[in-house]
Chain A
Amino acid sequence: MPIIGPVAIAGILARKKYIPESAGTLRTDTATFGFMTYAVIMILAALAFFPALALGPLAEFFRYIIN
């Protein structure tokens, strides 16, 4: 099931026209872009998993410390 998404994206990309590089092109080989991508992945993952973690393992850990 999860493979459907990436395959669909690949299908869309394959149909895209080739546009020559210009001043308006987003450069993907810079440190800024790398950092941004990394930050987005980290923040999204943290936001997605923290609420659940806070209720389970993290809550237990703090209870352990307090006791």
Chain B
Amino acid sequence: MSSVRKEVQAMKLFDKKLVSEALKQSVVKLHPKFMVKNPVMFTVEIGTLVMLFVCIWILAGEQSQGSFTYNLIIFLVLLLTLLFANFAEAVAEARGKAQAESLRKTREETPAKLFQSGGIKIISSAQLKKGDVFVCEAGGIIALDGEIIEGIATIDESAITGESAPVIREAGGDKSSVTGGTKVLSDKIKVQVTVEPGESFLDKMISLVEGASRQKTPNEIALTILLAAFTLVFIIVCVTLKPFADYANTPITIAAYISLFVCLIPTTIGGLLSAIGIAGMDRALRANVITKSGKAVETAGDIDVLLLDKTGTITIGNRKATHFFPVAGYDSDKFIANCVLSSLSDETPEGKSIVELAKQSGSKSHPADTLIKDARFIKFAAETRTSGVDIANVIRIRKGAFDAIKNISQKAGFVFPDETEKNVKKFPVMEEHLWWCLKTIR
């Protein structure tokens, strides 16, 4: 995914191809069929048409509507307003499409080792056809959906299924199918392509992005109704102006009516509303989040808590120690050494990662150097949520979940440091996941 991300970020706001496409679309969107979806801009379009007729009327010899240049300028300004609103929307739409395109491109650029009678030839995965046989080795990405015809391999399918543990796939039997885009972790397999180009699992996912229909969000609907109401009010204002003007003997030209009307109605919001919605989807996509509609973006904004069971897809699936936080005044090296001692008998990813982190931090007093006599290791258990070591029944070192440790230390008659609690609170979401070390000496 990272390569996709880079490509997306590298894409300029005004790409030449993108702009020419958007310009074309902005003219096409002038069709009343598209314009009627946006009542504010639709009334502007009607005004533009009226101005066009006024211009023709003047050319035909009408004197009472002011000069031709004046009317023509107003017509052109209105037309430009319409085109710009359409252009903004078209640019936003084209960018979304371009991103789906770049997704597809990255997929097609995955190299595949085509197996031929003469040997192995490297081609792009887009050139693979149904029935072709390709070879995939450890570390390689499987180019296309297919079936293993020779070999056995462990495959990381987390990108597709969310399962963080690698799965074993082998030739023959019901576990022989592999999906394009997954990674081979070990060994070498020969795969026969079982799908036609453009019909693979990934292609289907990409077309899901492309075919995303633009649903209006509840806020957008509310805003559209509000703007339509404003437009209605100002239509009444402009229409009632006519009798006023006639009564006061000050005739107002059609051009003046229409320009007053367009100035009054909220054209800017009305014109750019859809562009804003698409821009939201675009921003989500840049963060590698695929949203099918503007509605989804809005819902995403309201999310407080997110529950996932697909931990393998989103994360590496294991909790990991990243920092040691000794209480002020306590020697950092000694603290790390104690952390390691208490984690040695913890077989969970947390325990292992603490030992790992201590090794990386280059702690001077590594426990392997200190001779431990009469050590009794206490294994990590889900009930106690702690693990540790008793050394010669004198020193007891425990580590575990924050509340479990707090409980133990207070029962043993120690004051639990406020600083530790503060440190835990610094990571509110992770609270349960942070593991704390505590040394109790009797």
Within 8 A of B (CB), among A38-62: 44, 47-48, 51-52, 55-56, 59
Please tell me if A24 contacts chain B, counting CB pairs below 8 Å: yes
- Inter-subunit contact B248/A52 (CB<8 Å): no
For residue A48, which residues in chain B have a CB less than 8 angstroms away from its CB?
233-234, 237
- Chain A residues with CB under 8 Å of B302's CB are 24
Instruction: Considering the complex, give the chain B residue whose CB is closest to the CB of A53.
Output: B244
- Given A24-B301, A24-B302, A56-B248; A51-B260 close (CB under 8 Å): yes
A55–B230 contact, CB under 8 A?
Answer: no
Q: Is B223 an interface residue (CB 8 A)?
A: no
Most A CB within 10 A of own CB, among B233, B237, B301: B237
Chain B residues within an 8 Å CB radius of A67: none
- By the criterion CB–CB under 8 Å, are A55 and B234 in contact? no
Chain A residues closer than 8 Å to B301, beta-carbon distance? 24
Pairwise interchain contact A51-B304, C-beta atoms closer than 8 A: no
Cβ-defined contact, B237 with A51, below 8 A: yes
Q: State in angstroms the CA–CA spacing of A51 and B237 once bound together.
A: 8
Which A residues are CB-close (under 8 A) to B240? Answer: 52
Is the CB of B205 closer than 8 A to any CB of chain A? no
Question: Min CB distance, A41 to chain B, in Å?
Answer: 13
Contacts A44-B230, A48-B234, A48-B237; is A59 near B260 (CB within 8 Å)?
no
Interface residues of A in 1-45 (CB under 8 A from B): 22, 24, 44
* Chain A neighbourhood of B264, CB < 8 A: 47
Bound Cα distance A47, B248 (Å): 20
Q: How far, in Å, is A62 (CB) from chain B's closest CB? A: 12
Shortest Cβ gap from A12 to chain B (Å):
10
Q: How many Å from the CB of A45 to the closest CB on chain B?
A: 10
Instruction: Report the 4 A-B pairs with minimum CB-CB distance, sorted nearest first.
Output: A55-B244, A51-B241, A55-B248, A48-B237
Other A-B contacts than A47-B264, A55-B244, 7 sampled, CB-CB below 8 A, are: A44-B233, A47-B234, A48-B234, A55-B241, A55-B245, A55-B250, A59-B248
Chain A interfacial positions (CB closer than 8 Å to B): 22, 24, 44, 47-48, 51-52, 55-56, 59
